[in-house]
Homo-oligomer: A and B are copies of this chain.
């Protein structure tokens, strides 16, 4: 067995090994991974968020799996709060997801609560998992004097291990005593697992001088076990808005925010987005089709997109934040196919990690997407740099420019199919040694 071209391969292999050694030595010396291992793409700080009338938060250390940190959060919602939700489509979704799905759209006169634990996903735990969810919901309902049908739970963490409901119910007195309007940041921290930073976002606007607030938080950094980095998102507003209207908005905005991000194409068994509207703002109710509804929706979308981007920025091992913009597709569905194929391609994502403007891999991803594409109409750009068009490399393209562009931390890949008006945008990160380190590590 001889190799194809020994000298070139050998030089390359040795150079790679040496550069990895140098990189690792630098990392060890710098103390990376010893406490400062926050994603390089993280925002500078958790945002300052104004309280949302009608919502209180508490967090506590229940010892579900982790020691020495809060691992359970409780949100109490005022009577009359409308709650909308979107959930993972996984056929193996967790007991908490199945329970919450069934409760969405029920009566909303009473108060409500959301309880989330980290450390254990309570997924693939059989009928025992279903019983744990019911027991937690009943205990929360009793403690807060609300119906169990108004208690929504989520669990994130290791899967296939039974969740001890007793540890969580034992923390309920502490949680109830700690409920406060400014507890959002603590709640955001309590639900993290492999996240390297807590994720929050908010915004607001006035209706005839009366303020409306939106604030939310999320967790997730890719789909990981043992700490299943499920994406969990909780957004709160004091707007007055009916449940069906809220649900319709959430479903629509979710399709262009959380459903447009990908870290590794894997889908959690527990993904959940809940949106609660307490109606405690002095502003009048929001009616669909009005200018006020449009303003509310714009702020809500900005909050959702901000949280979605933060999840990508915390992608395991991520060093680049990438926006994939697809235009000119035969229709929106085709545009989404192309965006997804580019954003999920291991070859595109490793090229980005290597800061290589390897546009051939983008052509490959377009080709495999299943969308209608014609070689001689396809155009590709990196940021504002026209790379390929009319079936070949663009005449003015200089690889040195593209290579310089690829060294940025935030990148845009543009694909125009030249066929129609279909468009889609997705956000992704690069695929690095860090991803392999995190995910090939034996659970211990």
Contact = CB atoms under 8 A, between A and B. Distances in A.
Interface of A: 1-10, 12-14, 16-18, 20-21, 24-25, 27-28, 32-35, 37-38, 42, 45-46, 66-69, 88-93, 123-128, 158-160, 189, 192-198, 223-226, 228, 264-269, 344-347, 350-351, 353-356, 358-361, 363-369, 371-376, 378, 388, 390-393, 403, 431-433, 435-437, 439-443
A14 B5 CA distance: 37
A46 to B, nearest CB: 7
B267 A367 contact: yes
A4 B195 contact: yes
B16 A21 contact: no
A4 B192 CA distance: 7
Contact of A368 (B68, B267, B378): B267
Contacts of A350: 435-436, 439-440
A105 B4 CA distance: 34
Contact of A391 (B67, B127, B158, B189): B127
Given A347-B266, A358-B225, A160 B21 contact: no
B392 A160 contact: yes
B346 A265 contact: yes
A16 B32 CA distance: 11
Q: What's the number of copies of this chain in the assembled complex?
A: 2
Nearest to A442: B356
A29 to B, nearest CB: 10
Contacts of A372: 91
**Most B C-beta atoms less than 10 A away, residue of A88, A223, A344, A372:** A223
Given A194-B4, A364-B268, A391-B124, A34 B21 contact: no
Given A4-B192, A16-B441, A350-B436, 11 more contacts: A4-B193, A4-B195, A21-B21, A21-B28, A158-B360, A228-B360, A265-B346, A266-B365, A355-B442, A356-B442, A356-B443
Tell me whether chain A's interface is mostly helix, strand or loop, or mixed: loop
B24 A435 contact: no
A120 to B, nearest CB: 11
Contacts of A127: 376, 391
A30 to B, nearest CB: 10
Nearest to A391: B126
B90 A367 contact: yes
A39 B399 CA distance: 32
A3 B38 CA distance: 7
Nearest to A375: B92
A92 B364 contact: yes
B224 A347 contact: yes
A373 B264 contact: no
Contact of A440 (B193, B264, B356): B356
A392 B128 contact: yes
B16 A388 contact: no
15 contacts: A1-B42, A4-B69, A12-B33, A14-B33, A17-B33, A88-B367, A124-B388, A126-B390, A160-B360, A160-B393, A223-B347, A264-B346, A267-B367, A350-B436, A432-B440
